[in-house]
């Protein structure tokens, strides 16, 4: 078993918010998927993307979020504390905090893509440049 503490993982803010992949092949040797934590402050979003190999599971711990599925004119789903949502593979999605308080969520993706660079496809320009040394997968 492997324990990974939140403050051991560098935040990845490139696609928006504070995203930390905590349990992954890089951090604990997982082979079936990965899991992490996300904090979005009011007005922040995670840029639109899709996963060609993985389903994404999202559980809202606190605050309110809106998930947009299927592009700019797609379905919008409001999520609050203790709500969960599954995003099917190949479905573009964008997560937004349109509220007035920070929101915290837990996410999991499974199964893993054959290679990390194949697991995530951006369909919108991320709000920030890539941070040196910070990678999806939870390690620097």
Give the per-residue pLDDT at 117.
87
Both tokens of 128, joined, read: 């920030």
CB 58 within 8 Å of CB 88: no
Number of domains observed in the structure of the chain:
1
CB 4 within 8 Å of CB 22: yes
Q: What is the pLDDT of residues 71-88, one digit of tens each?
A: 989 999 999 999 999 999
pTM, two decimals, is 0.90
Both tokens of 140, joined, read: 């620097």
Q: Distance between alpha carbon 9 and the CA centroid of its chain, in Å?
A: 14
Quick check: is 89 in a domain? yes
Query: Tokens 């999202």 map to which residue?
Result: 58
Quick check: is 126 in a domain? no
Give yes or no for residue 133 having a pLDDT over 70.
no
CATH code of the domain in which 65 resides: 2.60.120.10
């Amino acid at each position: 078993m492997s324990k990974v503490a939140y403050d051991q993982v560098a935040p990845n803010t490139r696609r928006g918010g504070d995203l930390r992949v905590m349990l992954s092949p890089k951090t604990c040797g997982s082979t079936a998927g990965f899991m992490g934590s996300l904090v979005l402050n009011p007005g922040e979003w995670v840029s639109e993307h899709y996963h060609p190999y993985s389903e994404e599971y999202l559980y809202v711990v606190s605050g309110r979020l809106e998930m947009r599925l299927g592009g700019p004119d797609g379905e919008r789903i409001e999520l609050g504390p203790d709500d969960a949502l599954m995003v099917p593979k190949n479905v573009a999605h964008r997560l937004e905090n349109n509220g007035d308080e920070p929101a915290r969520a837990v996410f999991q993706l499974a199964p893993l893509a054959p290679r990390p660079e194949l697991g995530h496809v951006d369909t919108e320009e991320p709000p920030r440049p890539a941070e040196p040394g910070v990678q999806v997968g939870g390690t620097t």
